[in-house]
Amino acid sequence: MFLFSSSLQLKTTPFISNTASMHFSSLFVAAAAFVTALAAPAAEPVTGNGMSSLVERSTPAGTGTNNGYYYSFWLAQGGNVNYNNKGAGEYSVSWQNCNNFVAGKGWATGSARNINFKGSYSPQGNSYLSVYGWSTNPLVEYYILESYGTYNPGSGLTHMGTVTTDGSVYDIYKGVRTQQPSIQGTATFNQYWSIRKNKRSSGTVTTANHFNAWAKLGMKLGQHNYQIVATEGYQSSGSADITVS
């Protein structure tokens, strides 16, 4: 369990450090496997026997619009995951012994917007709370990771540098996924990550500071696809109630 600050973080001028290095260790293969599993995109909805009765009583897996916000709920088979859209930008999700899921609310088209989020996040095991999105041309999956459970995905990625913004240093990482599911079907694509050192479940994310820092490190986004504040779980349990604006 971690304690989080509920105060909003003010926009700050980012400080970028270009300290590219590659992490290798005896745990690299295992860490990379965790990253691959955790990074499954919100692509195709699960139907039929793949969903438990608990999931069928909640918001069905898929994408859509709810109270003016885009939502995405992707679910791999196994375990119990209960996702619910609530008023405005709020959603809740609870999971028990899940396989893998990604769920959240945001916008059908991403941009370099300031994103406010607040709420509770209580993972037990491997989980992420992040600004999560995709771009095309080039195809990129990205995370601005605000908090996580027991596993830090940076251990299996290439460290590119840092950016200081919104009250914390973020480590910047890059990874490659080869022939994996994406918003364009099975493909090979890059992953971009900013991982916050001071975990939190409420605040403001100045996405422009991350996008600009990535670009200066040669990590360029293309045309924005969807962009959400996502809760993700992999072979874990937990709960979250998040409001996005």
Q: Residue 178: which CATH number?
A: 2.60.120.180
Is residue 146 annotated as part of the catalytic site, yes or no? no
Task: Report the pLDDT value the prediction gives residue 79, as an integer from 0 to 100.
Answer: 85
Structural domains of the chain, count: 1
Whole-prediction pTM: 0.78
Q: Is 4 domain-assigned?
A: no
Give domain status of residue 55, yes or no.
Answer: yes
- Catalytic position from the list 44, 90, 146, 232: 232
Q: Return the number of other C-beta atoms located less than 10 Å from residue 40's C-beta.
A: 21
Domain-located, residue 89: yes
Tell me the C-alpha distance between 42 and 86, whole Å: 19
Instruction: Indicate which residue of 44, 56, 141, 146 is catalytic.
Output: 141
In-domain check, residue 10? no
What per-residue confidence (pLDDT) applies to 46?
A: 35
| Amino acid 111: pLDDT | 99
Q: So what's the pLDDT on residue 112? A: 99
Q: Tell me if residue 141 is catalytic.
A: yes
- Residue 107's domain comprises 15-244
Q: Which helix (H) or strand (E) holds 244?
A: strand 223-244
Asked whether residue 225 is assigned to any structural domain, the reply reads: yes
Structure confidence at residue 33 (pLDDT)? 41
Q: Which residues contact 130 (CB under 8 A, 6 or more apart)?
A: 143, 144, 145, 146, 229, 230, 232
Residues of the chain where predicted confidence (pLDDT) is lower than 50: 1-57
